[in-house]
Amino acid sequence: MKNLLIISVLLISGCSGMHLKGNDPWTKEQKVMQGASIVLRTMDWGTTLDMVDRPEYYEANPVLGKHPSKGNINTYFAASMLLNYVLADYLPSKTRTYWLGLNIAISAVCVGNNYNIGLRMNF
> For 9-55, what is each residue's pLDDT tens digit?
555 444 544 555 447 999 999 999 999 999 999 999 999 999 998 99
Asked if residue 30 belongs to a domain, the reply is no
Question: Residue 73 falls within a domain, yes or no?
Answer: yes
CA-to-CA dists, residue 31 to 26, 88, 100, 101, 104, angstroms: 7, 10, 10, 12, 13
Domain that residue 74 falls in = 41-123
On whether residue 77 sits in a domain, the answer given is: yes
Return the sign of the alpha-carbon dihedral for residues 26, 28, 30, 31.
positive
Is 25 inside a domain boundary? no
Residue 23 lies in a domain: no
- pLDDT tier, 65 (very low <50, low <70, confident <90, very high otherwise): very high
Question: Is position 24 within any domain?
Answer: no
Number of structural domains (the chain) is 1
